[in-house]
Structure 1
Amino acid sequence: MLRNALARVPTLSTPLGCDAVGVPEHHGFRLLARLPKPGCVFADDDWWWWIVPAGSDHELAWPDRVRYAPGAYVPAARPRLLHWPGDSLPYTPPIPLYLMVCQLMGEVPEWA
């Protein structure tokens, strides 16, 4: 499967590294509207990708229907930037994203 690194936006700092969390496209608008501080969000035809700090999968059990992409290398041919963050960091806070994703997918949050 083709994997592409999500484009790094040169004007944004990434001191914590970058991973990406992918959710099916039909959840994208709902998440974007409800998250208090979304960072960079990319999309292709089927998936929306949220930039999170590297290691945001540590001790979090992301639902099976979510794709976690270390290094923000995603299985997307032409992801496009949909949302620009309100500050100089590209990150969506992973815990609120995780809790909202679990709620939308009917999963119980689990972490170590």
Structure 2
Amino acid sequence: MGLDTLVRLQRHRPLRDAPRRLTVPDGMTAPLGWDAVAVPDRLGPLVVPRLPRLGCVYADGARWWWIVPSDSDYALPWPFPAHYAPGALVTGTARLIHRPDGTVPYTPPIPLYLALCRATGTTPDWSLRSPRP
């Protein structure tokens, strides 16, 4: 096989686990853009009852994904083992497991952050900072 053939084969090889963006369901709008926050699926049921409003939630068999407004990670380090996904890019196939009433897909990020801190036994980041003089 020549080098040209190898290059052509590499270019046409399908990408496995290429990131895909979680889609917002039909009829919903996301005026603030959207990112996603994932946690291992064992934590999902612990987080849900602690939230005042539940937006779109997806599951991929290993994680639960919440849709949050874009840049919800600004100055906010999400607690381990949460994973913040800018652009809501995920690998694998995630299916919608909860769709809220209304037209907005968001779970409020601060209550989600606090619920995740509680579920993981993590102190919220702003509690660790000393007050300004």
Same fold (TM over 0.5): yes
Q: C-alpha distance in 2, partners of 1:30/1:86?
A: 22
Task: Tell me the residue number matched to 2:102.
Answer: 87
Q: Which runs of 5+ in 1 are unaligned?
A: none
User: Which of the pair is proportionally richer in strand?
Assistant: 1
Pairing of 1:1-112 with structure 2 (within 5 A): 1-75=17-91, 77-111=92-126
1:37 counterpart letter in structure 2:
R
| CA apart distance, 1:97 | 0.2
- What do residues 33-76 of structure 1 show as CA deviations (whole Å, max 9, x unaligned)? 3311010000011000000000000011111311100011013x
Structure 1 stretches of 4+ with a deviation exceeding 3 A read: none
- Taking only the aligned residue pairs, the percentage that are identical comes to 48
How many residues were matched structurally?
Answer: 111
Q: 2:56·2:107 contact (CA, 8 Å) conserved in 1?
A: yes
TM-score (norm 1): 0.92
C-alpha RMSD of the superposition: 1.4
State the structure with bigger RCO (CA 8 A, min sep 6), 1 or 2.
1
Which deviates the most, 14-23 or 102-111? 102-111
TM-score (norm 2): 0.78
| CA apart distance, 1:10 | 2.4
User: Which of the pair is proportionally richer in helix?
Assistant: 2
Q: C-alpha distance in 2, partners of 1:32/1:86?
A: 16
Q: C-alpha distance in 1, partners of 2:123/2:48?
A: 21
Q: C-alpha distance in 2, partners of 1:10/1:37?
A: 20
Q: Which runs of 5+ in 2 are unaligned?
A: 1-16
